[in-house]
């Protein structure tokens, strides 16, 4: 069971002077139990791709298949696809609509048939998972800070318990504690067997938390691989607009000077590489 995308292309305003090719022949497969990060520069097509994954955009060419069900195939399958794939939007304001946090978070699970105590438990569990204090339940979500709104948006998707969790730039607006809580939540979700599709422009974060990474550049796939595979090839591909983590720049420099054999973005692995290489001299 997986979410697979094959040869997906999408052009905004086709045939108009404002035509913009946002996605170009994107293909990948994300599995349950993994954190799959999609990393790309501003305007690389990340949000356009995210919105294709649960059928929010009408397909122009290519395929998106969720657990064997083709998005855009049978209209009666759309509900199952939306239940399976939860999307946290890039901007919480795109998602939030209710007058209270409780109502906002309840919307998804009540739509899928939960009510009464089971619904209340689901809402509380989702708030706890993302570290949103229960005292927020009666608050108006529009009156919250950016980071708090982000947590409400994440909780409202978690509450539906989707098998595929797509998060578009979820770390934006979070402070250090919020970021630690988010990364531990994503790990917990993947350990529970969920597929976490984590969209970001933060290469360092992606290298730290992902099982696999796909880099997109100008709407096309530039590379797909494990963090160590990606670390090894980043200096050879166009990562336009992405910030190379300091540890990787150091790694490349040491390799160039013949001081280490293997490129890594892991600090302890790099220290070990340096130790081994110097003891061999
Ligand atoms: N509604 C739209 N109409 C026309 N062009 C659009 C529209 N939305 C996005 N685009 C264009 O499609 C391309 C991809 O946009 P998209 O929002 O998917 O990128 P992104 O990688 O999510 O960027 P960011 O990191 O800034 O969120 C960009 O060139 C953008 O200008
Ligand atoms: Mg975006």
Judgement on whether residues 6 and 110 belong to the same structural domain of the protein: yes
CATH at residue 63: 3.40.50.300
Query: Distance between CA atoms of 165 and 85, rounded to whole angstroms?
Result: 6
46: Cβ below 6 Å to ligand 1? yes
Minimum CA distance residue for ligand 1 atom 23:
43
CA of 90, closest atom in ligand 1: 27
pLDDT at 1: 85
165 and 272 both lie in a single domain: no
How far, CA to CA in Å, does 226 sit from each of 89, 200, 211, 251, 253? Answer: 25, 16, 6, 17, 21
Q: How confident is the model at residue 242 (pLDDT cuts 50, 70, 90)?
A: confident
Cα 146 off chain centre by: 18
Q: Which burial class, exposed, middle or buried, applies to 38 when counting CB atoms under 10 A from its CB (0-12, 13-18, 19+)?
A: buried
Structural domain including 97 reads 2-244
Q: Find out whether the beta carbon of 10 lies less than 6 Å from any atom of ligand 1.
A: no
pLDDT of residue 197: 98
Cβ of 43 below 6 Å from ligand 1: yes
- Report the 10 Å Cβ neighbour count for 171: 19
Contact 200 CB / ligand 1 (< 6 Å): no
- The confidence score (pLDDT) of residue 236 equals 82
- The pLDDT of residue 239: 80
| Residues within 5 Å of ion ligand 2, judged at the Cβ atom | 46-47, 90
- Asked whether the whole model's pTM tops 0.75, one would answer yes
Question: 43 CA distance to ligand 1 centroid (A)?
Answer: 5
Q: Are residues 19 and 52 in the same domain?
A: yes
Distance CA 36, CA 50 (A): 13
**Can you list the alpha helix ranges (DSSP code H) found in 94-235?**
101-111, 116-129, 146-158, 176-191, 203-209, 227-233
Question: Distance between CA atoms of 168 and 200, rounded to whole angstroms?
Answer: 7
Is residue 34 domain-shared with residue 83, that is, in the same domain? yes
Q: Is 13 in the pocket of ligand 1 (CB under 6 A)?
A: yes
Across residues 162-168, what is the average pLDDT? 98
Q: Are residues 228 and 249 in the same domain?
A: no
Ligand nearest to the CA of 89: 2
Window from 115-129, 206-220, 263-277 with minimum mean pLDDT: 263-277
Say if ligand 1 is within 6 A of residue 183 CB: no
Mean pLDDT of the chain: 94
Are residues 125 and 260 located together in one domain of the fold? no
Q: Once rounded to an integer, what is the mean pLDDT over residues 143-170?
A: 95
Task: Report the number of distinct structural domains present in the chain.
Answer: 2
pLDDT of residue 237: 83
- In the prediction, which pLDDT does 150 show? 92
247 lines ligand 1 (CB under 6 A): no
Tokens 């998804």 locate to 108
261 and 135 part of one domain? no
pLDDT at residue number 241: 86
Least confident of 38-47, 70-79, 190-199: 70-79
* Same domain assignment for residues 91 and 213: yes
- Do 270 and 234 lie in a common domain? no
Split at pLDDT 50, 70, 90, the class of 46 is very high
Instruction: Flag whether pLDDT at 155 surpasses 80.
Output: yes
In this model, does residue 25 exceed pLDDT 80? yes
Tell me what pLDDT residue 165 has.
Answer: 98
The closest ligand to the CA of 43 turns out to be 1
pLDDT of residue 20: 96
Residues 223 and 252 in one domain: no
Indicate which ligand has the atom closest to the C-alpha of 38: 1
CB atoms within 10 A of CB 7: 12
| Closest ligand, as measured to the CA of 88 | 2
Atom 18, ligand 1: residue with shortest CA distance: 45
Starting from the edge strand earliest in sequence, which strands make up the sheet with 35-40, in order? 85-88, 164-168, 195-200, 35-40, 212-217, 220-225
């Amino acid at each position: 069971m997986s979410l697979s995308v094959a040869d997906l292309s999408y052009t905004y305003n086709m045939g108009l002077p404002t035509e913009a090719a946002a996605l170009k022949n994107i293909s990948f497969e994300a599995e349950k139990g993994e954190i799959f990060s999609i990393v790309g520069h501003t305007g690389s097509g990340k949000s356009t791709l995210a919105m294709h994954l649960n059928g929010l955009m009408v397909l122009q060419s290519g395929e998106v298949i969720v657990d064997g069900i083709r998005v855009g195939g049978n209209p009666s399958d759309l509900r199952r696809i939306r239940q399976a794939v939860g999307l946290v939007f890039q901007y919480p304001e795109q998602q939030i609509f209710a007058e209270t946090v409780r109502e906002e978070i309840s919307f998804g699970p009540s739509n899928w048939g939960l009510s009464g105590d089971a619904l209340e438990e689901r809402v509380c569990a989702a708030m706890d998972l993302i570290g949103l204090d229960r005292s927020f339940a009666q608050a108006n979500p529009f009156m919250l800070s950016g980071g708090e709104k982000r947590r409400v948006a994440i909780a409202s998707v978690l509450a539906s318990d989707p098998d595929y969790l797509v998060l578009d730039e979820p770390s934006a607006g979070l402070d250090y504690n919020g970021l630690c809580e988010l990364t531990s939540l994503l790990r917990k979700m993947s350990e529970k067997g969920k597929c976490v599709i984590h969209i970001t422009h933060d290469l360092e974060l992606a290298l730290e938390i992902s099982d696999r990474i796909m880099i997109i550049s100008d709407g096309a796939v530039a590379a797909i691989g494990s963090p160590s595979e990606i670390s090894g090839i980043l200096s050879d591909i166009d990562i336009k607009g992405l910030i190379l983590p300091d540890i990787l720049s150091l790694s490349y420099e040491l390799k160039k000077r013949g001081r280490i054999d293997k490129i890594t973005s892991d600090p302890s692995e790099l220290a070990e590489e340096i130790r081994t290489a110097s003891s061999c001299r």
